[in-house]
Structure 1
Amino acid sequence: MSSRKRFSLRVLLVFLLVLLFLAGATNTLLQHPARSPVNCYVPAVHGTEEQGPKKQTSVGKALSRGIVHGTSSLEMVSMVGDPEQQHGGRPSLYVGEFQQSSKSLVAIPVGIKNKAAVDKLVSKFPADRFTLMVFHYDGAGEEQWDDLEWSRSAVHVSARGQTKWWFAKRFLHPDIVAEYDYVFLWDEDVEVDAFDPVRYLDIVNREGLEVSQTALDRRSEIHHGITARAQLRPGVQGGGDVHRRFCTASALGGGGCDDISSGPPCAGWVEMMVPVFSRAAWRCGQGMVQNDLVHAWGLDYKLGYCAQGDRTLKVGVVDSEYVLHRGVPTLGGTEGNVAAFRSAVRRRSHAEMQIFDRRWKEAAANDVSWTDPYQ
């Protein structure tokens, strides 16, 4: 083959290679058009652990650093007026470090049959210090409560036949109630003649209680001795305002508690009818509430883990501000089958306690990074 033919063949091969390269590049461009760089900053949510890659959402990746707010509140906001002058629209709450408010949240399950008792209970909480949220478990809507003045400013949530803890898990997420200093998660069947919520919080703050409850008048339905009101003894345990321990030597007796007992229900323990949580304690406690368990039996024995420190110091019962627990069955059942229904509720409650206890043990065994401080 002559040198001229060899040269022509080489030129042809080069030309073919160029065509193949151009065809591949065009196909790549058609399948993957050019894109602008994306800022992959994922804003951290206040008070929560940083999310792993599998939990990062496209929202967090797509938005700029300053536009995402990790917390909100339950404050009502007007549809008109200057948003920067309205409580619910104040942007200063969510710029930079979170600023604490001076309000607390009261959340109560309510039934229309107990309207008068609920009105008396709720009226104890001044509107300038407390935001109110009511859970309607009987299907009665807001309009049936509208004749009460406080009802018009309360947040109403309705779901027929659901418990307090079912509502709390779904509507009291820590990021939603992060503005409030304390969360009162109370039953409706308590009488509050001897209770002042402002004085109560003054005592809780002074004593450094992260999880607390009012003491129960001794005429109440009392399930555990530690919840009964102790005799006020000035100069002892905060001047008689608070007790943190229960011993069998007290008037109620029982329970196998002594003056060195350090675990629930002898110390570091409150019951689930009228608990009060600090902001930090509720973030922990709400996470502990199980998605599918609605009676919260067994949870009271673990709330001390949410005390932000030594549960024997930071969990307590306030004696000087006490309530009367009437122990009236309110949720579910009709006049003809109340007893059968309550029996079925107790069976499920006991089953849930066993399930929760098993889950706790399994979780503790599987998490090698966690150490039980009270083992």
Structure 2
Amino acid sequence: MLLKVATMINPVFVLSDPKNRSFYCSLFIVVSLICGAYFIGSASIAKEYKEKLTRWKVIYNMQNMKFDTCKKRCQPSGTEALPEGIVAKTSDLEMRPLWGSSVKNKNSTPTMSLLAIAVGIKQKEIVDRIVRKFLSSDFVVMLFHYDGVVDKWRDLPWSDSAIHVSAMNQTKWWFAKRFLHPDIVTEYKYIFLWDEDLGVENFDPKRYLSIIRDEGLEISQPALDPVKSEVYHPITARVKKSKVHRRFYKFKGSGRCDDQSSGPPCTGWVEMMAPVFSRAAWQCVWYMIQNDLIHAWGLDVQLGYCAQGDRTKNVGVVDAEYIVHLGLPTLGVTDDNKGIDAIAQSKKEGSRALTPSPPPLKASDRAKVRMQSFIDMRIFKERWIKAVKEDSCWADPY
């Protein structure tokens, strides 16, 4: 019995039988074929899976790339739901007809610059002289009527071609913040933001533009005639036989200014009564103007930060084209004869008419206006100091 069992499990006896040997060979072949098919199939599946993974990876990378690209697009806030091409990011102040073609003529020569002035009806004749100079040099003219009077300007031949904006008792900086957004005035290479009490007898806008382009001035102003002007700062006084100056020298007393001086009031400074900004400079200055402050006192000291580079080089005063600052008090003045008297006096004195000496003011709110100017300046200075302290990413170049 034991011998029989041993024979049954002994492979020698099993393989010695031809029938058994044939069976196991067939089984081995079948198993080999199955294993081969399995390995070949696995390799094929692995290859296909790998190819799918590669395709998915490419698609994923492309989607991520598109997502990253889209994230980098500087879309204006609120336009995310729109295709980028439909967004009109800029505009201009050009008036369009109610009928006819609404598409701008691409062959037309664009106006290079904009003159914006805060005006009151009392200075109508002075403003008329200014505007005529600029219109002959192909400027767009925009009047900010701080006294609310618009209709009385209609008799001037250029009135209909000017843009009129009216608001009671507001400064040009208040108007500029609300109506001269950089996206609106982006087509104008230079922005002239002037007061109304300026004599332009010795000023030519075209020559002025030519000079500031040649000199690379991003922020500038015409020099002031120190003899005829009622009010001026030393750095803005005209230097005879000079084309442009960028600094003021003072070697005696306190607050000395020399070649080593690097900031206002020695260099990098213009006054606020007749500043001229390049397009790039205005894009910066506009944001510096405070929304809730009426006056811009204090901004003049910081304008150099918007000079698109070195303020000692890119900010300057043009001597070759100069003006006269009449120094006429306007906002807060209740003397109705003030502007009329100044114009009448100017007619009597001929060319020196642009420099009348203002008579004493009657009861008015002028003192309150000046006080508010000082308050606004203090607030602006405090905000600047606070902003510099809190912005850890900002580095002061000066």
> What is the alpha-carbon distance in structure 1 between the residues aligned to residue 372 and residue 237 of structure 2?
27
Output the TM-score relative to the length of structure 1. Answer: 0.77
| Structure 1: gaps (5+ residues) | 1-38, 45-49, 94-99, 233-239
8 A contact 1:104–1:131 mirrored in 2: yes
Q: Does 1:153 align with 2:161?
A: yes
Matches within 5 A, 1:109-258: 109-126=118-135, 129-141=138-150, 143-218=151-226, 219-232=228-241, 240-248=242-250, 255-258=255-258
Residue 329 of structure 1 corresponds to which residue in structure 2?
Answer: 329
8 A contact 1:110–1:137 mirrored in 2: yes
Q: Alpha carbons of 1:76 and 1:102: their partners in 2 closer, same or farther (altered >3 Å)?
A: closer
Structure 1 residues 7-51: Cα deviation after superposition (integer angstroms, max 9, x where no partner) = xxxxxxxxxxxxxxxxxxxxxxxxxxxxxxxx996896xxxxx47
Structure 1 residues 27-79: Cα deviation after superposition (integer angstroms, max 9, x where no partner) = xxxxxxxxxxxx996896xxxxx47xxx832xx12222211111000011112
8 A contact 2:120–2:149 mirrored in 1: yes
8 A contact 2:249–2:257 mirrored in 1: yes
Matched-pair identity in %: 57
Partner-residue secondary structure (3-state), 2:85: coil
8 A contact 1:246–1:259 mirrored in 2: no
Matches within 5 A, 1:298-317: 298-317=298-317
Q: Alpha carbons of 1:145 and 1:41: their partners in 2 closer, same or farther (altered >3 Å)?
A: farther
Name the one with the larger helix percent. Answer: 2
Q: Alpha carbons of 1:370 and 1:114: their partners in 2 closer, same or farther (altered >3 Å)?
A: same
Residue 384 of structure 2 corresponds to which residue in structure 1?
Answer: 360
> What is the alpha-carbon distance in structure 1 between the residues aligned to residue 362 and residue 278 of structure 2?
36
> What is the alpha-carbon distance in structure 2 between the residues aligned to residue 77 and residue 298 of structure 1?
38
Q: Alpha carbons of 1:365 and 1:91: their partners in 2 closer, same or farther (altered >3 Å)?
A: farther
- Deviation (angstroms), 1:258: 2.4
> Which amino acid letter does the alignment assign opposite residue 87 of structure 2?
V
Residue 28 of structure 1 corresponds to which residue in structure 2?
Answer: none
**Aligned residue pairs: how many?**
306
Partner-residue secondary structure (3-state), 2:133: coil
Q: Single out whichever of 146-155 and 269-278 deviates more from structure 2.
A: 146-155
> What is the alpha-carbon distance in structure 1 between the residues aligned to residue 186 and residue 175 of structure 2?
17
Structure 1 residues 245-294: Cα deviation after superposition (integer angstroms, max 9, x where no partner) = 001259xx975322321110110000000000000000100100001111
> Which amino acid letter does the alignment assign opposite residue 188 of structure 1?
E
Structure 1 residues 124-149: Cα deviation after superposition (integer angstroms, max 9, x where no partner) = 013562101000000102x2111111
Output the TM-score relative to the length of structure 2. Answer: 0.72
Partner-residue secondary structure (3-state), 1:209: coil
Q: Single out whichever of 128-137 and 172-181 deviates more from structure 2.
A: 128-137
Q: Single out whichever of 74-83 and 105-114 deviates more from structure 2.
A: 74-83
- Deviation (angstroms), 1:335: 2.3
- Deviation (angstroms), 1:222: 3.1
Q: Alpha carbons of 1:188 and 1:42: their partners in 2 closer, same or farther (altered >3 Å)?
A: farther
Q: Alpha carbons of 1:91 and 1:295: their partners in 2 closer, same or farther (altered >3 Å)?
A: same
Residue 358 of structure 2 corresponds to which residue in structure 1?
Answer: none
8 A contact 2:332–2:369 mirrored in 1: no
8 A contact 1:103–1:128 mirrored in 2: no
Residue 345 of structure 1 corresponds to which residue in structure 2?
Answer: 369
> What is the alpha-carbon distance in structure 1 between the residues aligned to residue 203 and residue 256 of structure 2?
30
Residue 53 of structure 2 corresponds to which residue in structure 1?
Answer: none
Partner-residue secondary structure (3-state), 2:84: coil
Q: Alpha carbons of 1:202 and 1:356: their partners in 2 closer, same or farther (altered >3 Å)?
A: same
Residue 278 of structure 1 corresponds to which residue in structure 2?
Answer: 278
> Which amino acid letter does the alignment assign opposite residue 203 of structure 2?
F
Task: Select 2:82's aligned residue among 63, 67, 70.
Answer: 63
Residue 373 of structure 1 corresponds to which residue in structure 2?
Answer: 397
| Structure 2: gaps (5+ residues) | 1-66, 337-360
Residue 72 of structure 1 corresponds to which residue in structure 2?
Answer: 91
> What is the alpha-carbon distance in structure 2 between the residues aligned to residue 41 and residue 130 of structure 1?
39
- Deviation (angstroms), 1:324: 0.5
Taking only aligned residues, the RMSD between alpha carbons, in angstroms, comes to 2.5
